[in-house]
Structure 1
Amino acid sequence: MSTKQRLSKLAYGVAAATLLTGSLASSNVMAAENVRWQVPLAFPSHLIGLTTPVKHLSESLKAISDGDIQLRYYEPGELVPPFEIMDAVSTGKYPAGYTWVGYDQGTIPALPLYSGAPFNMEPPAYLAWYYEGDGRELLEEIYAERNIHPMLCSIIGPEGAGWFANPIEDLSDFDGLRIRFAGIGGKVLEQLGASVTMIPGGEIYQALERKTIDATEFSQPAIDKMLGLDQIIKNYIMPGWHQTLTTSHLLVNQDVWGKLEPATRALIEMGCESATLKGFAQSEFAQPTALRDYQKEGVNAQTLPEPVLRELQKATNKVLDNMAAEDEMFNRVLTSQREFMEHHSIWHGKGYLPRDFYEYD
């Protein structure tokens, strides 16, 4: 056989193998399962870092699966009210929901430790605890009783501590305030004499405008600006002692999750990890612009004096200890977080430059 003939046979073999491989790949794509989920949201989809990751998640999953995995999300109230998302997913009314899990603290006391707790970790340490420590495993155990598979799907940094008619100079300034305040921080303010209520983000502006509340917190500067809170109150209190971070989670009905192919589950898990990173970047990019805009508009962005923060921390620890004494799972999660924060502090304290090192004109 001549060299030319041998090359011709080789080329034919390569072409045949290529066609077979392509055919198999096409067959695998066609054989992939179709996922079509309706996903109710707890917050409007345009809130930077808080809910914008769900758009990234939806678009990424559709692209990487060649259209086999499609998550269609719905604005708050279109399918179910924000406070009812967990129950809707648990019962299978909807296959999944994207929510701030702190809304369900009345049913599951430990959840605010996952959605954003006072004087807790900052995002980098939290991600280490969640992915490499006990965090994810404990959360999955919490939700197993409610037939839900949870996935971290967004994280942003500290919130503002709220919008107040007057500056906060000491703890007595909280006494008597009618305030919208979320999570464990709300329990702390109740101990200080405030009348705390919880209303969805989309209703805060109207509540302030109608003076049914005197003060409020919601989220970070850029998100609060989207809600127009600066149009009503001009005293913005920082830092967000009550939530050193905020998360959102994709909750999936466990029966639905269990029927998915392993490859599909892996894609959705990776999609949420990607969305978490994307949302954090979006959030960090947006906050300084919002604060500078506040300055131009005459908003007084007050930083709480350290003595006030120390007193708030003492009050917070009492509340946390009381909650831990009343609920076993709360105690397990809190103990795990405290142990990790102590462990991580040697790196955090020595490895990073001090905050006051960064001084700019």
Structure 2
Amino acid sequence: MRVGSLVASLLTLAIVIAMSGCGDGGGDVSQPSSGSDGQKVQQKVKLNMASAFPTSLELIGSNGVRFSKTVEEVSAGTLELKFFEPGALVPALEAIPAVSKGSVDVAWSTSGFYAGNDLAFSFFTSVPFGASADELLAWLQYGGGNELADEMYAEHNIKAVPCFITPPEASGWFRKEINSVEDLKGMKMRFFGLGAKVMDKLGVATQLLAGGDIFQALQLGTIDATEFSVPSVDESSSFYQVAKHYYFPGWHQATALGHAFFNMDIWNSLSAYHQRIVEVSCGYILKEMIAEGEATQAPAMRRMVEKHGVTIHYWSDEILNAYRKAWNEVVVEESAINPKFKKVHDSYTKFREDYKLWGEHGYMR
């Protein structure tokens, strides 16, 4: 049996087991040809999925296609999410708004790209000095995070299904070495999410650019520096051709979560079986990306150092402390003016405080 077929069989079995006894009227979900819900399953559903990331990007782009193929295979071809490159349907940063309006069915993107509507959405992607991938998923799944996301996205006619995740990101690409906070002042830098608020406080002029637009902006000097993703993704973006100083750790994104964003009307029109196929397929992608992400970063870093002359740096305590101080100020300021920011931050922080007893004792240090 092919590996792909084996995966499809296992995922289908998981869906059937998960839905056993949960269907309306106790119908046998393992027999999708019977009952009203089964008749829906038999109908082929084709949806368009606009991606915020091109397939040329390792991990975050390529796994959008993997997700699409997984859904189609597990559903035996009855559910198709046709993957579209950024710009094919809508620009990368417009994918989620297009889903909200109903002009696009699904978006492969990240909540941080929707933070212009409410900064609190950023918590569902990453938080400065925040949780690792496993801790973030724990908060979402068992600490109320997904419920908060559902509540906020419902107001925008969106169903957001957690679907991909990355390891800790790098902190940025710079043309010159950064030795103090003063060196950052006046710099024009592409920056994402809540971390941009931190950099703004330190005198950096930040702007948000889609992944596919960063290299040209860096090459042309429209920006002086950039952060984007993990080393394997950054390598595929070729930033090393312009900037040689590569900084760690990714204090602004200890992990980065993405979703499959469905227009709510589209989501509600899907059968329960198709909805579960999406959710289980996303779980499979999350698992694959955790493993792939951890396996591919060291080789990418090594290639960039040995083949492209990149110098890897680790931020000094002085600069990391400046970032942390600025972040704490952002939290106080935003919590005072944005009730949703405060609500999500309070939930996130409480979970992390409760988690500490396990986190500080359960793992080797």
- Indicate yes or no: 2:334 matched with 1:323: yes
- Work out whether residues 55 and 65 of structure 2, in 8 Å CA contact, stay in contact via their aligned partners in 1: yes
The SS at the match of 1:335 is: helix
Residue pairs, 1:288-307, within 5 angstroms: 288-296=298-306, 297-307=308-318
| Alpha-carbon offset, residue 26 of structure 1 | 8.1
Structure 1 CA distance for aligned equivalents of residues 208 and 64 of structure 2: 24
| Alpha-carbon offset, residue 337 of structure 1 | 0.9
Q: CA, structure 1 residues 26+248, in 2 after alignment: closer, same or farther (shift >3 Å)?
A: closer
Higher mean alpha-carbon deviation, 342-351 vs 143-152, is at 342-351
Structure 1 CA distance for aligned equivalents of residues 123 and 176 of structure 2: 29
Q: Larger radius of gyration, structure 1 or 2?
A: 1
| Alpha-carbon offset, residue 103 of structure 1 | 1.3
Structure 2 CA distance for aligned equivalents of residues 33 and 325 of structure 1: 50
Structure 2 CA distance for aligned equivalents of residues 227 and 47 of structure 1: 7
Structure 2 CA distance for aligned equivalents of residues 303 and 191 of structure 1: 21
| Alpha-carbon offset, residue 294 of structure 1 | 2.0
The match for 2:246 among 221, 231, 236 is 236
Structure 2 CA distance for aligned equivalents of residues 178 and 57 of structure 1: 35
Equivalent position of 2:358 in the other structure? 347
Equivalent position of 1:100 in the other structure? 110
The letter of the residue matching 1:209 is Q
Higher mean alpha-carbon deviation, 110-119 vs 134-143, is at 110-119
| Alpha-carbon offset, residue 90 of structure 1 | 1.1
- Work out whether residues 45 and 54 of structure 1, in 8 Å CA contact, stay in contact via their aligned partners in 2: yes
Equivalent position of 2:347 in the other structure? 336
The SS at the match of 1:351 is: coil
Structure 2 CA distance for aligned equivalents of residues 85 and 26 of structure 1: 33
The letter of the residue matching 1:183 is G
Structure 2 CA distance for aligned equivalents of residues 237 and 309 of structure 1: 12
The match for 1:278 among 282, 288, 295 is 288
The SS at the match of 1:320 is: helix
- Work out whether residues 52 and 279 of structure 1, in 8 Å CA contact, stay in contact via their aligned partners in 2: no
- Work out whether residues 71 and 79 of structure 2, in 8 Å CA contact, stay in contact via their aligned partners in 1: yes
| Alpha-carbon offset, residue 47 of structure 1 | 2.4
Equivalent position of 2:150 in the other structure? 140
Q: Deviations over 1:264-318 (max 9, x none)?
A: 1111111111111112222111101011112213211000122321221111111
The match for 1:263 among 267, 270, 273 is 273
The SS at the match of 2:356 is: helix
| Alpha-carbon offset, residue 25 of structure 1 | 4.8
The SS at the match of 2:140 is: helix
Residue pairs, 1:40-119, within 5 angstroms: 40-119=50-129
The letter of the residue matching 2:310 is V
- Work out whether residues 53 and 276 of structure 1, in 8 Å CA contact, stay in contact via their aligned partners in 2: no
The letter of the residue matching 2:198 is V
- Indicate yes or no: 2:236 matched with 1:221: no
| Count of residues paired in the alignment | 331
The gaps in structure 2 that reach 5 residues or longer are: 1-29
Higher mean alpha-carbon deviation, 95-104 vs 48-57, is at 48-57
Residue pairs, 1:125-274, within 5 angstroms: 125-274=135-284
Structure 1 CA distance for aligned equivalents of residues 180 and 331 of structure 2: 21
Structure 2 CA distance for aligned equivalents of residues 220 and 233 of structure 1: 16
| Alpha-carbon offset, residue 349 of structure 1 | 1.2
| Alpha-carbon offset, residue 41 of structure 1 | 0.3
The letter of the residue matching 1:63 is E
The letter of the residue matching 2:285 is A
The gaps in structure 1 that reach 5 residues or longer are: 1-23, 355-361
The letter of the residue matching 2:78 is D
- Indicate yes or no: 2:323 matched with 1:312: yes
- Work out whether residues 167 and 237 of structure 1, in 8 Å CA contact, stay in contact via their aligned partners in 2: no
| Alpha-carbon offset, residue 118 of structure 1 | 0.8
TM-score by length of 2: 0.87
Q: CA, structure 1 residues 25+349, in 2 after alignment: closer, same or farther (shift >3 Å)?
A: closer
- Work out whether residues 50 and 247 of structure 1, in 8 Å CA contact, stay in contact via their aligned partners in 2: no
| Alpha-carbon offset, residue 53 of structure 1 | 2.5
Identity %: 33
| Alpha-carbon offset, residue 130 of structure 1 | 0.7
| Alpha-carbon offset, residue 231 of structure 1 | 1.0
| Alpha-carbon offset, residue 55 of structure 1 | 2.1
